[in-house]
Amino acid sequence: MTSTKNNPTPRALTSKKTVAQKSGKSAKKDVAKLSRWLHIYLSMVSFAIVLFFAVTGLTLNHPSWLGGDKQIESKLKGKLDAKWVNNPDTNKVARLEIVEWMRNKHQVKGAVSEFRIDDSEVTVTFKGPAYSADAFIDREKGTYELSEIKMGIVAIMNDLHKGRDSGTGWGWVIDISAVFLTLVSLTGLILMLFLKKKRVSGLVSAIIGLLLCYLLYVWLVP
């Protein structure tokens, strides 16, 4: 007699295939559900920042539309404690006191981008989005002249879009926004792949879009 213990019956093979098919379908459903969940909620969480970068993409390309290229320049004069600057040892120049004086006295904004000391003068430069201020301090007398340039809200938004003089923290916001946009795009692509009737046309549209971007680059960029 021939033993059948090691030879699965057709019914057993069919049962194993059915289980594998069900497992595969379940995994696909889980991927589709996760992609849909991520696509919806990442889109909503990042809605404001995506809208911000979309709008500022226009204002950045056309700064004159809403007065983004206008600026107000003002010059101020004053005197601080000469002891802070007239010490022959430049390492003992009171950097912190000078910076805080400018902030408290004239409401100077932005971060200190340069603090330069030479034989006769101390120069302090502050930079922020759509903002700059330069203080020129006489080391002998302690007198100074402050030149300040301010621009409007559109210019501020444009500089935030570029991350110019916006600090490390805002740089992280830009990076996180880029990650969100990448995830939203990829999850949208994954969802499209689960739509049998739209899969081919969707992929063709994506490829056409990529080719158009490349052709526009070749055609329009010198």
Tens digits of pLDDT across the chain (222 residues): 445 555 556 555 455 555 555 565 666 677 777 777 777 777 777 788 888 888 888 888 887 777 777 888 999 999 999 999 988 888 889 999 999 999 999 999 999 999 999 989 999 999 999 999 999 999 999 999 999 999 988 899 899 998 888 888 988 988 888 888 888 888 888 877 777 777 788 888 888 988 998 898 889 888
Residue 94 identity: A
Which three-class secondary structure state does DSSP give residue 47? helix
Q: Output helix, strand, coil percentages for the chain, rounded to the nearest 5.
A: 60, 20, 25
Residues 102 and 115 sit within 8 Å (Cβ to Cβ): no
- Taking residue 147's Cβ as centre, other Cβ atoms within 10 Å add up to 14
Tokens read off for 207: 């490829």
